[in-house]
Amino acid sequence: MNAATLSPDQVAGLGRLDLVARLVVEGFLVGLHRSPYHGFSAEFAEYRQYIPGEPINHVDWRVFAKTDRHYLKVFAEETNLRATILVDCSASMSFRSEGSAVTKAEYARMLAASLAYLLLHQNDAVGLELFDESRLASVPAKAVRRHLFRLLAPLSKLPQGRGTSIGPVLHQVAERLPRRGLVILFSDLLDDPDDVIAGLKHFRHRGHEVLVFQVLDPREIDFDYRHDSRFEDLEAPGESLRLDPAQARAAYLDRFEAWRSGLRRELRSRRIDLVELSTDTPFDRALLAYLSRRRRMR
């Protein structure tokens, strides 16, 4: 398994979320040094390549064992960034199409854990909110590295969500947070777009930077179903619809693109970053999006 290119299907079977987070982030940081994005690693990563003749007391021997390359740990100065990670646990996030390795919730959980690991290892304070129709769990933000395990405990056992009420929950969280931080939302955004936008605007009004990771299943994006299928509403048990996907695909894709285009336009106009992901997207794309937002905040 190449740690620099870990994908969701590779890490899904690892079990322990702390191991997933560490492997994803360490592989990502090492990969930055070999990629066109080296500027990001120079600014944000904890490692740089060892230069012969330098003292070896800060060489990371774990990275050497995995890569056969010497990297020095680089300890950046305190940035005082306060980040709050919000994870949507509603029933729609439990969807996984045939052939997909993970549900939307599992993908969001692994990526949220990896971002928490990265933030804490850059001396930033990280808090967590889990929600569906209401707030389900909350972990206050702290900047000590041992805080990672307080964050991973609720992420490791995501509650079985019910319906979705994204907008009202965002308003509640926005009222609780101190000013001037980074808010990172993981959700499929399958709710009333006006309510979602209003909730995200509340964070911007209070001075926060906002980064939204929209997590969808590949079949939700391409609707590539081959046979007559029964589609069940995960948030309204008992409600279902049987249809021929070949006949419905064009209309579905038109409405899907109109919905997604509207979200892009509204969020862009409010300087909110939207990163569109599917559950088969390698994690490095999302981590690079975070680093891009972090760079602009400085």
CATH number of the domain within which 272 lies: 3.40.50.410
pLDDT at position 254: 96
Pair 135, 30 in one domain:
no
Residue type, position 296, single letter: R
Pair 163, 243 in one domain:
yes
Pair 120, 155 in one domain:
yes
Pair 40, 67 in one domain:
yes
- E-strand spans in the chain? 47-49, 71-73, 82-88, 125-131, 135-142, 182-187, 209-216, 229-232, 240-243, 273-278
Q: Do 126 and 177 contact (CB within 8 A), yes or no?
A: no
What is the longest distance spanned by two Cα atoms in the chain?
69
pLDDT tens, per residue, the chain with 298 residues: 444 456 787 777 777 899 889 888 888 877 765 555 444 444 444 555 666 766 666 677 776 677 777 666 654 444 568 999 999 999 999 999 988 889 999 999 999 999 999 999 888 999 999 999 999 999 999 999 899 999 999 999 888 778 889 999 999 999 999 878 999 999 999 999 999 999 999 999 999 999 999 999 999 999 988 777 778 777 777 777 888 888 889 999 999 999 999 999 999 999 999 999 999 998 888 888 888 877 776 6
Pair 68, 190 in one domain:
no
Domain boundary residue, one of 19, 39, 73 = 73
CA–CA gap between residue 160 and residue 143 (Å, rounded):
29
Pair 39, 166 in one domain:
no
Pair 88, 231 in one domain:
yes
Q: Which domain holds residue 155?
A: 82-297
Tally of domains within the chain? 2
CA–CA gap between residue 163 and residue 88 (Å, rounded):
10
User: Which two tokens mark 164?
Assistant: 């979705």
Domain boundary residue, one of 13, 43, 73 = 73
Beta bridge partners of 211: 184, 273
- Measure CA 276 to chain center: 10
C-alpha angle 217-26-289 in degrees, rounded to nearest 5: 50
Domain boundary residue, one of 22, 52, 73 = 73
Which residue in 23, 96, 12, 98 sits closest to 63, CA to CA? 23
Is the full-model pTM beyond 0.85?
Answer: no
pLDDT at position 50: 61
Pair 26, 67 in one domain:
yes
Which residue in 184, 11, 175, 7 sits closest to 88, CA to CA? 184
Residue type, position 196, single letter: V
Pair 173, 140 in one domain:
yes
Pair 167, 282 in one domain:
yes
Beta bridge partners of 275: 213
Residue with tokens 């808090």: 127
pLDDT at position 233: 73
Pair 98, 120 in one domain:
yes
Pair 123, 10 in one domain:
no
Which residue in 220, 20, 211, 232 sits closest to 104, CA to CA? 220
